[in-house]
Amino acid sequence: METVELVGKQFELDDDGHLKNQSDWNEEVAKEFAKLEGIEELNDRHWIVINFMRKVYQEKGDAPSIRRLTKESGVDTKELYALFPKGPAKKAAKIAGLPKPKGCI
């Protein structure tokens, strides 16, 4: 079982390196995951995306598609890619403590 130490605690990870137990997630953990992904500080815009992803996941059991994300979160495509360079959907899901998104879009 892969684990990662963040904020002085051990966290279990799934095969994709995402948090295994969602109950382990909190804002501090999110900040630490962001640092691992190369995002030093999470600003208000990052949090809009993270919270939107968590909300959709709780409703639907999967992270939103990039289309839904950019249409409904209030953050457009260009900004989304600027906030989470190199793979926004996956990175945002990881920071939000969710499994890797399953969809293709």
| Residue 102 in the binding site for another protein (CB under 8 A) | no
Query: Considering beta carbons, is residue 11 or 63 the nearer one to another protein?
Result: 63
Query: Considering beta carbons, is residue 30 or 80 the nearer one to another protein?
Result: 80
Query: Considering beta carbons, is residue 42 or 69 the nearer one to another protein?
Result: 69
| Residue 104 in the binding site for another protein (CB under 8 A) | yes
Helix-helix angle 44-60:88-95, to 10 degrees = 80
DSSP assignment of 6-68, as one string? ETTEEEEB-TTSSBS-GGG--HHHHHHHHHHTT-----HHHHHHHHHHHHHHHHHSSPPPHHH
| Residue 1 in the binding site for another protein (CB under 8 A) | no
- Positions touching another protein (CB under 8 A) are 65-68, 70, 76-78, 80-81, 85-90, 103-105
Q: List the catalytic residues.
A: 104
